[in-house]
Amino acid sequence: MKKSQRTRFFIAFLLMILGIGLLVAVSFRGSMVYYLSVSEYMQSSGRVPGPVRVNGRVVPGSIEKEPAKLGVRFAMTDGENTLPVVYEKIVPDTFVERAEVVVEGKLDPAGVFHADVLLAKCPSKYEAEDPADHPELE
C-alpha cells in the first residue's frame, strides 16, 4: 500500500470510530432517566426535570380500577412516604398489592403522579411448594 492510501484508510477508520462513538453517546443521553425512591422524590418536591422513575411498593387496599376505563389509581410507598399514582393504560398481570413497582412520569400540581410507564417487578425467585402441603396429590 502506498503512503497516501494508508493515510486515507486511517482517516476513514478514525471517522468511522468517531461516528460509532457519537451514536452511542447520543443513545445513552436519550435513555437516561432519574431513578428515585418515593421518599427521595418527595424530598425533591417534584423538581426533578423531565420524566422521572420512582420505585416503591403498592400500598395494600389502594388499588382502584374503573371497569369502563383502562388503567388504575393506586398509592405506592417506600415505607416512609406515600405517593398517589394514576396510570391510564393496560395494567401488567404482575401488578398486585404489595408488588414492587417502578413508574415513570410526572407529578401534577395537585400532587398526583401521572405515570406513562408502569413496571411491576416479578418475584426474584420462585420456590417449589412442599408436597406434604398437598396430600391429595399423592
Domain map (residue ranges) of the chain: 1-32, 33-120
Q: Given CATH 2.40.50.140, say whether it is the number of domain 33-120.
A: yes
Of 97, 96, 72, nearest to 86 by C-alpha is: 72
Which residues lie across from 93 on neighbouring strands?
A: none
Res 132 pLDDT > 80: no
pLDDT digits 0-9 by tens, 75-85: 999 989 999 99
125 vs 28, 35, 95, 122, CA distance in Å?
A: 30, 23, 17, 8
So what's the pLDDT on residue 32? 63
pLDDT digits 0-9 by tens, 16-63: 999 998 888 777 765 666 678 888 888 876 566 667 889 999 999 999
Res 131 pLDDT > 90: no
Res 137 pLDDT > 80: no
**Average pLDDT, whole number, for the chain?**
82
**122's grid cell:** 416479578
3-state secondary structure (DSSP) of residue 4: helix
Percent of the chain at pLDDT exceeding 70: 78
Band of pLDDT at residue 123, cut at 50, 70 and 90: low
So what's the pLDDT on residue 73? 93
